[in-house]
Amino acid sequence: MKKITAFLLILTMVLAMTACGKDASSDTYVSENGTESGSGEAEVTSASDVTVGFIFVGPVGDGGWSFSHNEGRLALENELGVKTLYKESVPESQEVEGEIRNMIDQGASIIFATSYGYMNYVEELSKEFPDVKFFHCSGYKQTDNMSNYFGRIYEARYLSGIVAGLKTETNHIGYVGAFPIPEVVRGINAFTLGARSVNPDVEVEVVWTSTWYDPAIEKEAAIALLDNGADIIAQHQDTGGPQQAAEERGLYSIGYHTDMSAIAPNAVLTSVVWNWNDYYVDQVKSVIDGEFESESHWGGMETGMVGLTDVADFAADGTQEALDAAIAEGMHVFTGEIKDQEGNVKVADGETLTDDELLNMLWFVEGVIGKIQ
């Protein structure tokens, strides 16, 4: 009996040691930092038991911003087998608090809030629910259990400006902007710098819509810019409304968020795009594995989070060569000398803006027509 008892004890220890790790044949993960119970067993989390919530500012069928995030949600389900919840068209108001609370009540332990205006509400909820992991897109605030994340989309914006700068014949490019916040201003500036790097005579006219998602208003703003002499339309909006306006006029456009060539096949020169898939999978996996650490993530083109689609065959001759040259040089988008609209030097020759300066950018570069209201 003593021998049998000893054997059973050894067998139990071996099985316990084998359980500490990821089973490659299943979706089960064991946290290396798992809390130990009184019996000394590690805490085991199954991916299939994890619920992840997503808050979208527009409908998932917008073909743009919310669509791109929803593609990341679907990739998360497919690759990790977690359960996801989502709520679309949530205003950037206190209403988002109720939606997040509802998801937590349904078992969500990870929340992705995907619009700038959610930031302060998410910050407060992160303090109220310390066991939930929060991820806020495009903001700058952090807590112990709240990360912020975004991509250096300005890099791809700069390249798209090169495409537009080589194609324009009127040297007048229109830009439909949602709100005059640093994220949008930074993109307009990068686009303009790219365009003027190959065509110093280019001017970029900005019209504000005061909405992220309103196809009709976005299209109307683009039409107004076209009526004022623009022959190419760029945008920081969530739908393909501006692309359709350019297509109907027989003119050109730069897509945003996703490849918009299907919406306006004869107008879209290229699209500045997002790919959230890898980030969502990596972050949820880090939570499951017990490796989450609050961070401020700002991925560039080298991470695959942001990019540029292939240029259309009706782009200007030499466009791809110009893009290749810019990439080879390192795309120092905000390295001086850079002047503002009034001709004042904002970035001295050889100097580069810091991330903090980029995140707080509220001035236009030389060549932009418009005001930050």
Is pLDDT above 60 for 12? Answer: no
Is pLDDT above 50 for 10? Answer: no
Q: What is the widest separation between alpha-carbon atoms in the chain?
A: 95
Architecture per CATH, 153-273+306-369: 3-Layer(aba) Sandwich (3.40)
Place of tokens 């001086």: 336
Question: Are the folds of 46-152+276-303 and 153-273+306-369 the same?
Answer: yes
Q: Please state whether the peptide bond connecting residue 203 to the residue before it is cis, i.e. omega within 30 degrees of 0.
A: no
Mean pLDDT for 101-105 is 98
Question: Which residue type, as a one-letter code, is found at position 174?
Answer: G
Mean pLDDT for 223-230 is 98
Span of 36-45, 56-65, 160-169, 217-226 with lowest mean pLDDT: 36-45
Q: Do residues 169 and 157 lie in contact, with contact meaning Cβ atoms separated by under 8 Å?
A: no
Span of 16-20, 92-96, 219-223, 241-245 with lowest mean pLDDT: 16-20
Measured distance CA(162)–CA(357) in Å, rounded:
24
pLDDT-based confidence at residue 22 (cuts at 50, 70, 90): very low
- Stated as kind and residue range, the H or E segment containing 234 is strand 232-236
pLDDT-based confidence at residue 7 (cuts at 50, 70, 90): very low
Is pLDDT above 80 for 276? Answer: yes
pLDDT at 63: 86
Is pLDDT above 60 for 40? Answer: no
Measured distance CA(277)–CA(74) in Å, rounded:
8
Residues 6+ apart with CB under 8 A from 139: 116, 118, 119, 122, 148, 150
Measured distance CA(6)–CA(60) in Å, rounded:
59
Measured distance CA(182)–CA(356) in Å, rounded:
11
Is pLDDT above 60 for 128? Answer: yes
pLDDT-based confidence at residue 246 (cuts at 50, 70, 90): very high
Span of 59-63, 67-71, 145-149, 361-365 with lowest mean pLDDT: 59-63
Is pLDDT above 70 for 39? Answer: no
Span of 14-18, 107-111, 116-120, 348-352 with lowest mean pLDDT: 14-18
Is pLDDT above 50 for 36? Answer: no
Mean pLDDT for 263-276 is 97
Mean pLDDT for 99-113 is 98
pLDDT at 45: 63
In tens, the pLDDT along 54-64 reads 999 999 998 89
Q: Do residues 334 and 353 lie in contact, with contact meaning Cβ atoms separated by under 8 Å?
A: yes
pLDDT at 28: 22
Mean pLDDT for 340-365 is 96
In tens, the pLDDT along 295-312 reads 999 999 999 999 999 999
Is pLDDT above 80 for 24? Answer: no
Measured distance CA(298)–CA(166) in Å, rounded:
29
pLDDT at 6: 41
Q: Residue 46: beta bridge partners?
A: 28
Is pLDDT above 60 for 95? Answer: yes
Is pLDDT above 70 for 65? Answer: yes
Measured distance CA(364)–CA(69) in Å, rounded:
29
**What's domain 46-152+276-303's superfamily in CATH?**
Response regulator (3.40.50.2300)
Domain ranges of the chain: 46-152+276-303, 153-273+306-369
Mean pLDDT for 42-59 is 82
Q: Please, what is the average pLDDT of the chain? A: 89
Question: How would you classify residue 89: left for phi > 0, otherwise alpha for psi between -120 and 50, otherwise beta?
Answer: left
Is pLDDT above 90 for 153? Answer: yes
